[in-house]
Amino acid sequence: MTKPWGPQEEAREIRSPEVGKVLFGTKYLIVAKLGRGGMGEVFEVVKPPQIMGVLKRLAPEMAKFPKAKELFLTEVRALAELDHPHIVRVQDFDTDGFGVPFMVMERLTGRNVADLIEKRGRVEPDEAYEITRQLLDALHVAHTHDTPVVHRDIKPENIFLHQPRHGEPVLKLIDFGLVAEA
């Protein structure tokens, strides 16, 4: 006898979200897949009424490991506490219909320093100074916070040059995936 297929059966099989569909058990519509790493997946999302963000979700194959969930939650906690103009801001945190934790961060526009270097071949001295100044400001806040946070993965790909609609470009430190609370 064949069992009917329903939400209970679907929830047992953890899957990656599909572009154009709502993340199971949430209100977040997946607009685009932005990337995937060893611990997580990153998507551009929208939540009605047109609230844009970037959703980082623990990878489905990692969701069954309590230690992986603990590391992910450490990143969320650390980022949520670091309210600073040069650190990406967390807007939401929850678990999806599969029980997989995710966080939604502010949606940034622009490019990372690695893309800048690849396109131009170099960074001009005055621009390098400003990038370094803003990066050090972010790291100082993280390291001197009530619960100090060490990023542990500083690289050009994780230094984002955000161009807001109004105002000057601003550096945002992203991807605290290997974060450690000191």
3-state DSSP assignment of residue 83? coil
3-state DSSP assignment of residue 89? coil
Q: Where are the alpha helices (DSSP H) in the chain?
A: 7-12, 66-81, 113-120, 125-143
Q: Indicate the residue type of 123.
A: V
Enumerate the active-site residues: 153
Rounding to the nearest 10 degrees, give the CA dihedral for residues 120, 121, 127, 129: 170
In 3D, which of 174, 18, 178 has the Cα closest to residue 89? 174
